[in-house]
């Protein structure tokens, strides 16, 4: 059984198609980290929610879970809602080490990757400075 358990935590949307890139991300992380169990959880509109995802991992024997917020920045949901959810989860699962990382979009590597992608797809990287 994997020793590391990751939950990729995203906002969620009413449109099921919205989750496709997140499912691809989950698959890619699982490939890069084969020793980890990697699952998705959503704040709203989609399932599983974070409570359900943690409970499922705990039932499977997880004792150490890391929540990775797949948000571009730390806004109200991560500042207000997530701490309340984590407090509830820690009360429900006191034997489980539950940690949370900063919003993934605030990581320098993610900022660099997005900047490179924007420059590439917009064609801006191919233009001389000042050209339109």
Which positions are catalytic?
11
Structure tokens at 93: 């699962």
Q: Is the pLDDT of residue 132 over 80?
A: no
Residue 31: inside a domain: yes
Residue 79: inside a domain: yes
**Secondary structure class of 40 (helix, strand, coil):** strand
Structure tokens at 71: 């948000």
Contact 9, 78 (CB under 8 A): no
pLDDT, tens only, 58-110: 999 999 999 999 999 999 999 999 999 999 999 999 999 999 999 999 999 99
Contact 71, 11 (CB under 8 A): yes
Number of domains in the chain: 1
In the 8-state DSSP scheme, what is residue 16?
G
Strands 4-10 and 36-42: parallel
Residue 114: inside a domain: no
pLDDT, tens only, 118-131: 999 999 887 666 66
Chain-centre distance of CA 72, in angstroms?
Answer: 10
Residue 100: inside a domain: yes
Mean pLDDT, residues 105-117 taken together: 97
Q: How far apart are the first and last CA of the chain?
A: 55
pTM over cut 0.85: yes
Residue 47: inside a domain: yes
Residue 80: inside a domain: yes
Residue 60 sits in which domain range?
Answer: 4-104
What's 45's domain CATH number? Answer: 3.40.50.1400
Residue 99: inside a domain: yes
Residue 119: inside a domain: no
């Amino acid at each position: 059984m994997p020793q590391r358990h990751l939950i990729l935590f995203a906002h969620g949307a009413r449109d099921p198609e919205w989750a496709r890139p997140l499912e691809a991300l989950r698959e890619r992380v699982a490939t890069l980290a084969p020793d980890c169990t990697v699952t998705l959880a959503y704040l709203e509109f989609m399932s599983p929610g974070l409570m359900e995802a943690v409970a499922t991992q705990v039932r499977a024997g997880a004792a150490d879970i890391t929540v990775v917020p797949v948000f571009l920045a730390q806004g109200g949901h991560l500042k207000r809602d997530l701490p309340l959810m984590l407090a509830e989860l820690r009360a429900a699962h006191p034997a489980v080490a539950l940690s949370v990382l900063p919003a993934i979009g605030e990581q320098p590597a993610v900022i660099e990757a997005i900047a490179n992608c924007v420059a590439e797809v917009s064609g801006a990287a191919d233009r001389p400075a000042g050209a339109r």
